[in-house]
Structure formats: C-alpha cells, structure tokens
Structure 1
Amino acid sequence: MSIATYISMMRILFCTAALIATSTAAIAADPMAPPATATLIEGWQQADGTRVSAVQITMAEGWHTYWRAPGDAGIPPQFKWNGSRNLNAVSVNWPTPELFSQNGMRSVGYSNQVILPLSVSAKRHNKPVHLKLNLEIGVCKDICVPQTLTLDGVLNNQNAIPTPAIAAALAERPFTAAEAGARGATCSMSPSEDGLNITAHLNVPPTGSSEFVVIEAGRPDVWVSEAAVSRNGNMLTAQAEIIPNGTGAFAVDRSALRFTVMGASHAVDIRGCAPS
C-alpha cells in the first residue's frame, strides 16, 4: 500500500469516526449550542484605502479549530466571499497557532478564541464594503465537527485609529525572516514513491524548545507530511514528503514554499528556498 493511499484511508476512517460520534456528543452537551460562533469586527481604514477588519471565532470550552495549514488530523478553513459588494480582495492575517495531539496525530490551530485580522481592498475606496462570508471550518474536542459560520456586515469606518483587539492579533503573527535574524533557506528534493522528498536547511536562530516546522507547498492540491526536525547551531533541518492529491507528474515552485518554525518562545515565517 502506498503512503498516499494509507493517508487517504486514515483520513476517511478518522472523519467517519468523528461523524458517528457527533450526534452522541452533541446530545450529551447542548444540542442547541454550536461549538463555535463568529462575529465581524469592523476595524479601521489605512492611508492607502485598505480596510483592516477581523473575524472573531469563539469556541465552546475545550474545543479548538484549525490554522491555514492544519496538519495531518486537521480540516483546512475555507473562506467564501460570494455575495459581497464593493469587494476587490481579502487577505487573512494568521496569528501564531498552537499544536494539538489527537488520535495519535498532531494538528495546528487555535483554542478558546481567535481573532483573524483581514486586509480588505475595496473596488471604490470612498464607498462602504459589504462583506458576506461563509467560513467553513472544522472544530474538535473529543470528536471533530464540520461547521459553516455565516457573517454579513458593512465596513464603513474611515477612522485611522487601530482597533486594540485587531492590533493585538496582528502583533501575534510569526516574525518575518528579517525580524528573526534568519539568513535564508535552501532545499533539495528527490523523487519518492508518491511524490517528492524535501530536505530544507533553514538558517534561523533558535525559537525555543520543542521546535516544530510546518512546510506549505503553495498549492492547494498538494499535501505535505509532518516534518522531522533537527538543529545544529543556527541551522534547522526539516525533512518531509510532498504528495499530490492526483496522479502523474507535478512540479513544486521553490519560491512558493513556505516554512513556519514554531518554538516555545516565538515563531518565524520563512518564504521560499534556494537550491542546495
């Protein structure tokens, strides 16, 4: 059995077990109370016309949701802005997540409450932006439940004063490579049974104990395994496997690779790698 087939079977079994357990768990708690709710925080407007707002997700006690790269056991969030008006583009700013262990697999996400700052570009800067969002997330406790959170609101505040809660969430983002004193990354790739093996050498000072590296391939149709990590001085080595969802040849753009190093003290976001 190939690794890709094994991973697919494990995910199917994991999700099936979660769905079977969902009805029992929901009844045991409060059948009328969703495990997560969301609100829109309006925020402020920057000098270039970009509006800064945020989605606040609040989870019931003991529940957590997932980061943009959720790990082996997670469900990636999906943002759908259909029906929004005067909206040109939206980018999500992700605070540093935490690690969870469930059913022998690790995942990456947030517990209790998280504020996800949004950078919103309008088609017409002097007009309000009407946001409609369907946010599809997974929320987990002893089991995992898919949930769709629906938000509808208008961004019309032209005040330039930052909203404290959003500003605090922005301050919780991983450091950039420059801010952390990182000096670049190199990586090598070789064929594997199901895709490509990647070995990345990240020249980054220590981020604290229990360092964990998430590798993102920069394309949604590709899965990257949990990385094996080792350190020698300021050189952090991460080894993983990149596996496409489909079959046939595929390519990985080195400039699109993204490495998030998370340690006990802080996290670092490193973009791209040169050939080693």
Structure 2
Amino acid sequence: MFEDRCMLKKTLIPLALLALTNSAVASPFDDLAQVEVLPGWRAANGDHIAGLRITLAPGWKTYWRAPGDAGIPPVFSFNGSQNISAIAPHWPTPDVFDSAGMQTIGYHDSVVFPLTVHSNDPSTPMQISGRIDIGVCEEICIPVSLDFDALLPASGTRDSAITAALVDRPMTQAEAGIGHVVCSVDLIEGGLGVTAIFDLAPLGGTEVVVVESGDANIWVSQSRIERRGTQIRASVDMVHHTDDSFGLDRSDITITVLNGQRAVEIHGCAAS
C-alpha cells in the first residue's frame, strides 16, 4: 500500500507501488462521499492532466496528506490502470479545523485532486482505475473506500475545476521570498526535537506550521510556533514508530505554513 504524504514534490509514483492489498473492502458508509474522475486533457508534452473530485455529504469533511492527530490521510491506489506508467497527485491548499480542541487539516464540501498522468504511449487513450481511501468526519470519523474507473482520451479539453485546483496550491519558497531555512535537531526522550527557523512576511490571521519528515514511519507532533517580526520558529517532536534511534534527512523535510486561505511550502532545510 502506498501512502502519499508528500506529493507536491511532484515525485512520480511507479504504479507497482500504488496497489492496495486485496483485504481492502468497501465501507457501508460510502454514501458519505462520492468520487468522480475528471477526464481532463492531454498536455503538449504528452502528459495527461486529470482529476479526482471528492464530493462529501453536507457537514462532513475529509483530510489533507498531513491531517493532524485526529485525521486520516488519503491513500491513493491506481492498480488496474492501463497505458499508464506513473501518476503524480497534487494537493490543493487545505483548511485548518478545530476538532474538539484538536487541530486537523483538510477539506469540506468537496475537493479536486489534480493528477499528472504519464503514459506508456501518449498517442493512445489511457484507462485510469483504482481506489482512494479517505477519512470522512462530522461528529465521528469513518474510513471510506471509493473505487473509480474511466477512460482518459487522447485529446480532451481543459477542465475549469482541475485548473482551479492546480492554481489553488501553496506558494513555493521562492514565490514567498523565503531565503535560507535552518532545521536544528536535538535528542529528546524517545526521538528527536526539530526546530525550523526561517523568515516569512506574515500571511495574516492565525498561522499554522506543519512539518513533515518525509518518512511515513515517523510520527510528528503539532508544531509549537514562535513569530518575531518576519522570523518564524516552528518546533516539533519526531518519534519513530518502531525505532528509538533513527536518522533524519533534512532534505526530505517539508514545511508548510497555512492560515486557512493561503499557504507556503518549503522543501528541505539546512543544518545551519
């Protein structure tokens, strides 16, 4: 099973890594969410731009790739697809929710996940098939499995919903005017304490900083944020699920600053 936690790096996903296990079964609560393939269009370079639209029941929400302790991150599977070599999902800027005093991050009402699809033969149609496993929450959280299957035509026309979701992305480090980013690492009981330090003009409102390790086996706490003028210091604890002693590659760290409307995403940081 592939758990997609850091795909805004636009890393290509080999299809062999995206298959869910045969033990996955449909949820009796599938009516809480529906999935639709937006067939999209073929780009000039031969890639296909498609989308998965998730529509939620009124009052329900679903989650981002780093959803917080009370959320369930989406898991994509594209097993069964034909004439497709790799797929790169993209993540629109999420909202920040307060759930019974716990911070969660995700989407309400609906969300479109754009997909960049790479073909074995761009001159012929592609068949995209698979499943997305998500958590949907209102008063309670329920795991839901949604199957999809659609033909991606060799031509197609631009889709406004996909285009809007692609535009609704976090700013890059360069776009936000962020220069040097430092991550200090200290030993703590059972893991590592990591503090990211960088300069960023205030986004406005309440800012949330999410730190991702790049390793699905490492739990990362909610960040403790200190802002002094343009400088942000965001500290988290990192604990490995199985190993008290583990290495951390700073180049794999992703730092996202959110304020509920805008976002900035930073990839990698330096020791000093």
Name the structure 2 match of 1:82.
79
Name the structure 2 match of 1:121.
118
In the alignment, residue 143 of structure 1 is paired with which amino acid?
Answer: I
**What SS does the corresponding residue of 1:152 show, helix, strand or coil?**
strand
Name the structure 2 match of 1:235.
231
Aligned pairs for 1:40-59 (under 5 A) are: 40-59=37-56
In the alignment, residue 213 of structure 1 is paired with which amino acid?
Answer: V
**What SS does the corresponding residue of 2:72 show, helix, strand or coil?**
coil
Name the structure 1 match of 2:93.
96
| Equivalent of 1:246 in 222, 242, 257 | 242
What CA distance in whole angstroms lies between the structure 2 residues aligned with 1:165 and 1:56?
9
What CA distance in whole angstroms lies between the structure 2 residues aligned with 1:264 and 1:205?
16
Name the structure 2 match of 1:263.
259
What CA distance in whole angstroms lies between the structure 2 residues aligned with 1:32 and 1:197?
39
| Equivalent of 2:58 in 53, 58, 61 | 61
The question of 1:173 aligning with 2:169 is answered yes
Measured after TM superposition, the shift of residue 174 of structure 1 is 0.6
Contact 1:42 1:157 in 2 (8 A): no
Measured after TM superposition, the shift of residue 264 of structure 1 is 5.0
| Equivalent of 2:144 in 115, 132, 147 | 147
| Equivalent of 1:224 in 201, 207, 220 | 220
Q: Which moves more between the two structures, 248-257 or 138-147?
A: 248-257
Structure number with the higher helix fraction is 1
C-alpha distance 146-32 of structure 1, shift in aligned 2 (>3 A): closer
1:153-195 alpha-carbon deviations (Å, 9 max, x no partner): 1111424x53111111111111111111111311100111121
Contact 2:35 2:54 in 1 (8 A): yes
In the alignment, residue 101 of structure 1 is paired with which amino acid?
Answer: D
| Equivalent of 2:107 in 110, 131, 139 | 110
In the alignment, residue 236 of structure 1 is paired with which amino acid?
Answer: I
1:75-126 alpha-carbon deviations (Å, 9 max, x no partner): 1111111111111111111111011222331111000011110111111111
The TM-score with structure 1 as length reference comes to 0.85
Q: Would you identify which runs of 4 or more consecutive aligned residues in structure 1 move more than 4 Å?
A: none
Contact 2:96 2:259 in 1 (8 A): no
**What SS does the corresponding residue of 1:180 show, helix, strand or coil?**
coil
**What SS does the corresponding residue of 1:34 show, helix, strand or coil?**
helix
What CA distance in whole angstroms lies between the structure 1 residues aligned with 2:260 and 2:80?
41
Measured after TM superposition, the shift of residue 227 of structure 1 is 0.2
| Equivalent of 1:190 in 182, 186, 206 | 186
What CA distance in whole angstroms lies between the structure 1 residues aligned with 2:30 and 2:207?
36
**What SS does the corresponding residue of 2:245 show, helix, strand or coil?**
coil
What CA distance in whole angstroms lies between the structure 2 residues aligned with 1:264 and 1:178?
21
Name the structure 1 match of 2:130.
133
Unpaired stretches in structure 2, ≥5 consecutive residues: 1-27
1:219-243 alpha-carbon deviations (Å, 9 max, x no partner): 1111110001111122111000011
The number of residues matched between the two structures is 246
C-alpha distance 243-51 of structure 1, shift in aligned 2 (>3 A): same
Contact 1:221 1:245 in 2 (8 A): yes
| Equivalent of 2:70 in 62, 70, 73 | 73
Contact 2:184 2:196 in 1 (8 A): yes
The TM-score with structure 2 as length reference comes to 0.87
The question of 1:37 aligning with 2:28 is answered no
Identity of aligned residues (%): 40
RMSD: 1.6
The question of 1:206 aligning with 2:202 is answered yes
